[in-house]
A and B are shown apart, each in its own frame.
Chain A
Amino acid sequence: GAVVSQHPSWVICKSGTSVKIECRSLDFQATTMFWYRQFPKQSLMLMATSNEGSKATYEQGVEKDKFLINHASLTLSTLTVTSAHPEDSSFYICSAREGLVSYEQYFGPGTRLTVT
């Protein structure tokens, strides 16, 4: 149980285009989902927290107009990187939590984004 999937697993896009990454909880309802960014050989940096049906809460320094997060259902959250640039190339990982008082986050396998 507690499986989180991400799609696509890797994507290459051209500079200036937008790309959408999906995060799905397959066997539970995710009240809260988190989006992280990980640079090579570095730790995970939380980008934003999203609760189903609410606007995402972005961490300081994360451009909300560039990284659009939608959490429209209890099993799906999307991250859209708008007008992507090479510096947006990174590994993006989502996690999901069941319930508002649950502490455990279940992580997706990650999406490798390369912007050329």
Chain B
Amino acid sequence: AQSVTQLGSHVSVSEGALVLLRCNYSSSVPPYLFWYVQYPNQGLQLLLKYTTGATLVKGINGFEAEFKKSETSFHLTKPSAHMSDAAEYFCAVSLSGGYNKLIFGAGTRLAVHP
């Protein structure tokens, strides 16, 4: 069975600081991995995805993530936090082929303070 673990339900950073949101997955087959962002009372917006190929993927708003098979991780980073990055972030996994359902992590709430 697949699962996703997001370490840290809350992360707080200063504006301009590095953002690191952790995601580890469990999958018996090569996974497709996703990061989504959710602003209050809104749906989810795709930040980036890994399917195959290059393990470092770049997404919108300056975010990137690296797929590390040996560590079963897909951590999300951004070099310099902006106030507008404050939101809930979800890591998700689906079986390769991708037409299977998404399994979401519990989410990490990112706070950015001046």
By a beta-carbon cutoff of 8 Å, the part of chain A in contact with chain B is 4, 6, 32, 34, 41-44, 46, 49, 91, 93, 95, 97, 100-105, 107-110, 112
Contacts and interface: CB of A to CB of B under 8 A. Distances in A.
A34 B106 contact: no
Contacts of B90: 43-44
Given A107-B45, A110-B42, A112-B41, A49 B101 contact: yes
B44 interface: yes
Interface stretch (B20-28, B56-64, B71-79, B91-99): B91-99
A68 B49 CA distance: 31
B46 A104 contact: yes
Nearest to B92: A44
Contacts of B42: 109-110
A84 B110 CA distance: 34
B102 interface: yes
A21 B99 CA distance: 24
A105 B43 contact: no
Q: How large, as a class, is the contact surface on chain B? A: 20 to 34
A103 B90 CA distance: 17
Interface in B29-51: 32, 36, 41-46, 49, 51
A103 B99 contact: yes
A107 B44 contact: yes
B106 A42 contact: yes
Given A43-B90, A103-B94, A104-B49, A93 B43 contact: yes
26 contacts: A4-B43, A6-B43, A32-B99, A34-B101, A42-B106, A42-B107, A43-B90, A43-B105, A43-B107, A44-B44, A44-B90, A93-B44, A95-B43, A95-B44, A101-B99, A102-B98, A103-B49, A103-B94, A103-B97, A103-B98, A104-B49, A107-B45, A109-B42, A109-B43, A110-B42, A112-B41
